[in-house]
Amino acid sequence: MPGPFFADANSGYENAQYVICGVPFDGTSCFRRGSNLAPREMRANSYNFEAYSSFYDIDLSEVNIHDAGDLEVAQDIDSTLDLISVHANKFVTDGKIPVMLGGEHSLTLPFARACKNKYDDLGFVVLDAHMDMRQEYEGEINSHACISRHIYEEVTQKYASIGIRSGAREEYEYVREKRIKVFSADDVFSMGIEKVIGEIREDISGPVYLSIDMDAVDPAYAPALGTPEPYGLTPRDVRTVISCLAPKIVGFDLVEIAPAYDSGGTALLGARFVRDFIAASARARS
């Protein structure tokens, strides 16, 4: 029976290794709004799946998962980032692995920062269709279109992105100039995802934060997005990234689903990725 919390999140906070939280905020989204409804929809869809994962051979009902519910948000992005950073810092300081359900991509920043405060050599891997390397977008520096720029300039230069197929010419020039590791969806198609991950691991071998912007996935699999881009990754590509990085992942988020634009399949896939991350990570740590 679907509850208000994520399926198999049966642990109290104290004993939890994984703390799920929703952040229902979509204030800077530009094309289609509605990612504020995604945490609720992912939770509802999480009840579709068996507790036992045959792929990872682990039972999620035996993993210490806590769902802290939705965090309080404000009307504007700056106040919202302030509000949620308090929780992000607490989760990480308390030794938890935060699992943030967005909401829009700008919400990643306080969670990545919290992890960087704890792990000085933190790497950051993002799956996204978009560069998100703008300095500002429509006058807003904390727009979801700027998140990767903030991460690279303010959090860690051990940064890599996978699935990219959209950006302004200036963003492409910026990453070329800085020699930032950007793997397009076409790179994944031609090289294979394992080779891409291998190249990323040359630079990022320590603790890593994994951020999944759902629009990295092809809109054929995930149509309910704020800013859909064709020619994307497959769900299997994403699962392979999750599997390979899981042993090192210290923070995770899944953002940018806009549930109103399909009949539930995208939130279902999002819930699957979240469950697979927890299963892969718990498996690696067991």
Q: How far is the CB of 127 from Mn ion (least distance, A)?
A: 9
Q: Which stretch binds Mn ion (CB under 5 A): 9-17, 67-75, 207-215, 259-267?
A: 207-215
Distances (CA, A) of 55 to 10, 38, 157: 22, 25, 33
Q: How far is the CB of 230 from Mn ion (least distance, A)?
A: 13
Please list every residue from 115 through 144 that binds Mn ion, using CB under 5 A: 128-130, 132
Q: Which residues have C-beta within 8 Å of that of residue 1, sequence separation ≥ 6? A: 47
Q: Residue 225 corresponds to which tokens in the numbers above? A: 């997005």
Closest to 98 (Cα-Cα) out of 82, 83, 114: 114
Q: Should residue 213 be labelled a site residue for Mn ion when binding is judged by CB under 5 A?
A: yes
Q: Should residue 43 be labelled a site residue for Mn ion when binding is judged by CB under 5 A?
A: no
**Residue 241 backbone dihedrals phi, psi, to 5 degrees:** -60, -45
Using the minimum distance from each CB to Mn ion, give the nearer residue, 56 or 159.
159
Site size toward Mn ion, by CB under 5 A: 7
Alpha carbon 235 to its chain's center: 14
Q: How far is the CB of 271 from Mn ion (least distance, A)?
A: 19
Q: By rule CB under 5 A, what string of x and - marks binding of each residue 60-99 to Mn ion? A: ----------------------------------------
Quote the DSSP letter at residue 166. Answer: B
Alpha carbons 215 and 232: distance in angstroms, whole number: 8
Q: Should residue 187 be labelled a site residue for Mn ion when binding is judged by CB under 5 A?
A: no
Are the C-beta atoms of 203 and 195 separated by less than 8 Å? no
Using the minimum distance from each CB to Mn ion, give the nearer residue, 97 or 233.
233
Q: Which residues have C-beta within 8 Å of that of residue 79, sequence separation ≥ 6? A: none
Using the minimum distance from each CB to Mn ion, give the nearer residue, 128 or 253.
128
Q: How far is the CB of 66 from Mn ion (least distance, A)?
A: 27
List of residues contacting Mn ion (CB under 5 A) = 105, 128-130, 132, 213, 215
